[in-house]
Amino acid sequence: MNFPAIQRFRRRQAVGEPVYGLWITLEAPSIAEAAAALGLDWIVIDAEHGHLDWKEITEHLRAVVRSETVALVRLPELNGGAIKRALDCGADGIVIPWVESSEQVRQAVEFANYPPEGRRGIGAERATAWGQAFLEHTAAANDHVLVVPILETVRGVRQAATLANIDGVETFFFGPADLSASAGHRGQWEGPGVAQMILDAKDAIVRAGKHCGLLARDTADLERRREQGFRMIGLGTDAGLLIRSLRQSLAVVGRDASMRADLSVPADSPPGGPSGNRSTSLLDRPPESVRPDRMEVTVTRGEHEPITLAPGVSFDCSVGAVNGAKHLTTGYVSFEQGAELPYHEHPFAESVTVLEGRLTFDVVGRRYVLGRFDNITIPRGLAHAARNLSRGTVVAHVAMASAEPTRTLIDRSFSLRAMPADSTGRPGAERVTRFATAPRAAAGPNTQFIDYFNADLLPGLEMSGGYGGFDPGGRLPAHFHDFDESIAIVAGRATCVVEGRRYAMSDRATALQPRGRVHYFINESTSHMEMIWVYAGPRPDRIVVDPRCATLEGDPWK
């Protein structure tokens, strides 16, 4: 056992500092060695799923010996023989899956401790220097061994407060995918209600003076989990991080693709990704058939005179007929405290993304409460209303599938029904995207994109759009669209490059990219940047071109 590394691990958690690690599923010990060389606080070697055998597990343990990295082994099940074997091989602790009861936790602690406190047998293996350090090892092992149960069922998280009071365990891990399956949402990382179950269980465990951990899905989730108070955070799995990096690089050249369960690439599917911008093949230059008829436009917030929609409700138009957009209007709607927009409907689709505050949104009586970056999309002809029932002003980004929007007020009432906090809308009607749990994918290096709405998510929808987050250095490849696009920079600073012309954008500035204009966005700042993008087309398709087309020298239209 690596006693100094375990002590360092515990000290960091004790002062409220998260410990970061890697989940290992692949056999090469170089992965563990690289993790230790990068200074990760821990690794978990996964013996529950996948194909690792005991020889490969031991090689991973050898790769981090004498480092500052704690090495844990996740076992297939709660089993005294397996626990003994993992610890004899030199693991600093064990991770126990599918824990649901106090008795299981007590058994895991007993199996991991030598008598008289526990039932672990003493072996002449790596842990005791092959029998040469019996006294040295056994004198300290019980005080250092780490036992980490995983709560990954509804029954398990409901027992969190009770389990947290058992001695011998300091950290509990969560398994969102299995928890989702046990809650009836098989195949989802965090199905409806699961995110709140985890947070509630985490709070109960923290109140008992213990720590919690889980795997982050991406960099944004990593930051969110740290803010939520998790103190053992996985950066990802080795295979997952490798695939994510490959997809980010492929996205730069327009070759991002989803993976299938049979690991085959569909012969009839073009290269593309599931989120943000589905790319077609790389072209040398755009075809003459999409030659643009207008220049790009950038609009600062408040550049156009606001339109009063109702008392205390105003619309600041960014993109639309005012600057030559086709089939698209975007902008910002502000709701003063207590203001409401009465029931109305449109002959086109509308999408609303909350940027500040909390907005109450009603759709024919179904009431949703939306927070920051939550989105609701309403198909044409569906009556809806919005109210600011929170303190302070609410600001939302709005998109409509028309350059000259109109509305018809609805003079009737609807029976009010409050929708669950994790509701994602009604099939065939409105669609609600909850930012915290929405699937994410890369559209370029250091980016994460969310699809809010498109014709695949809402059949018959006339437009598509979503959220884009850019870490420093994040960028998209040079590309164009066969429709107009609106891009609003809602946080941070962005550089927009259009055929060599550069625009610095921030403070909710919006860019209108006409059909055929070659452009890309890049985050050249040192902080995170976020955008809301909307296409005047039903699907988020982009056509990636040679990067030279986005330069002054390579401008395809000059």
Nearest C-alpha neighbor of 145 from the set 163, 122, 170: 170
Distance of alpha carbon 551 from alpha carbon 211, whole angstroms? 51
- Counting runs of H as helices and runs of E as strands, what totals does the chain give? 12, 33
Q: What local confidence, expressed as pLDDT, does residue 291 receive?
A: 95
Q: What percentage of the chain exceeds 90 in pLDDT? A: 84
Mean pLDDT of 92-107: 98
Reply yes or no on whether the pLDDT at 72 is more than 80: yes
Mean pLDDT of 351-368: 96
Class of domain 3-245: alpha beta
- How distant is the alpha carbon of residue 313 from its chain centre? 32
Reply yes or no on whether the pLDDT at 279 is more than 90: no
**Catalytic site residue 49?**
yes
Dihedral of alpha carbons 59, 61, 67, 69, sign: positive
- DSSP E strands, 375-500: 375-378, 384-387, 394-400, 408-409, 417-418, 431-433, 447-453, 464-470, 479-480, 485-491, 493-498
Contact 520, 499 (CB under 8 A): no
Contact 467, 492 (CB under 8 A): no
Would you place residue 254 in the very low, low, confident or very high pLDDT band (cuts 50, 70, 90)?
Answer: low
- Report how far apart the first and last C-alpha atoms of the chain are (Å, whole number): 67
Instruction: Determine which of 168-182, 278-292, 420-434 has the lowest per-residue pLDDT on average.
Output: 278-292
Sorted by sequence, the CB contacts under 8 Å of residue 240 that are 6+ apart come out as none
For residue 502, the SS3 value is strand
- How distant is the alpha carbon of residue 331 from its chain centre? 26
Q: What local confidence, expressed as pLDDT, does residue 244 receive?
A: 83
Nearest C-alpha neighbor of 363 from the set 347, 380, 381, 382: 382
Reply yes or no on whether the pLDDT at 268 is more than 80: no
Structure-block tokens of residue 500: 């060599």
Contact 24, 44 (CB under 8 A): yes
Reply yes or no on whether the pLDDT at 54 is more than 70: yes
Sorted by sequence, the CB contacts under 8 Å of residue 331 that are 6+ apart come out as 315, 316, 317, 318, 319, 320, 397, 398, 510
CA-based radius of gyration for the chain: 27
Distance of alpha carbon 315 from alpha carbon 307, whole angstroms? 5
Structure-block tokens of residue 203: 């709070």
Buried b (16+ CB within 10 A) or exposed e, 144-175: bbbbbbbbbbbebbebbeebbebebbbbbbbb
For residue 360, the SS3 value is strand
Q: How confident is the model over 186-228, as pLDDT tens digits?
A: 877 887 789 899 999 999 999 999 999 999 988 878 988 999 9
Would you place residue 322 in the very low, low, confident or very high pLDDT band (cuts 50, 70, 90)?
Answer: very high
Mean pLDDT of 127-134: 95
Backbone dihedral region for residue 457 (phi beyond 0: left; psi -120 to 50: alpha; all else: beta): alpha
Q: What local confidence, expressed as pLDDT, does residue 278 receive?
A: 65
- From residue 395, how far is each of 24, 35, 104, 235, 366 by CA, in Å? 43, 43, 49, 33, 21
Q: How confident is the model over 148-193, as pLDDT tens digits?
A: 999 999 999 999 999 999 999 999 999 999 999 999 888 778 877 8
At the topology level of CATH, where does 297-550 sit? Jelly Rolls (2.60.120)
- DSSP E strands, 89-151: 93-96, 146-151
Q: How high does pLDDT run on average in the chain?
A: 93
Mean pLDDT of 304-322: 95
- Name the catalytic one among 49, 51, 211, 346: 49
| Domain chopping of the chain, boundaries | 3-245, 297-550
Residue 367, amino acid: R
Q: What local confidence, expressed as pLDDT, does residue 427 receive?
A: 86
Structure-block tokens of residue 330: 């975007």
Sorted by sequence, the CB contacts under 8 Å of residue 126 that are 6+ apart come out as 58, 61, 88, 89, 90
Reply yes or no on whether the pLDDT at 459 is more than 80: yes
Reply yes or no on whether the pLDDT at 271 is more than 60: no
Q: What local confidence, expressed as pLDDT, does residue 527 receive?
A: 93
Reply yes or no on whether the pLDDT at 137 is more than 90: yes
Q: In this structure, how many other beta carbons lie within 10 angstroms of the beta carbon of residue 260?
A: 10
Distance of alpha carbon 350 from alpha carbon 402, whole angstroms? 9
Q: What local confidence, expressed as pLDDT, does residue 306 receive?
A: 94
Contact 461, 536 (CB under 8 A): no
Would you place residue 274 in the very low, low, confident or very high pLDDT band (cuts 50, 70, 90)?
Answer: very low
Reply yes or no on whether the pLDDT at 334 is more than 70: yes
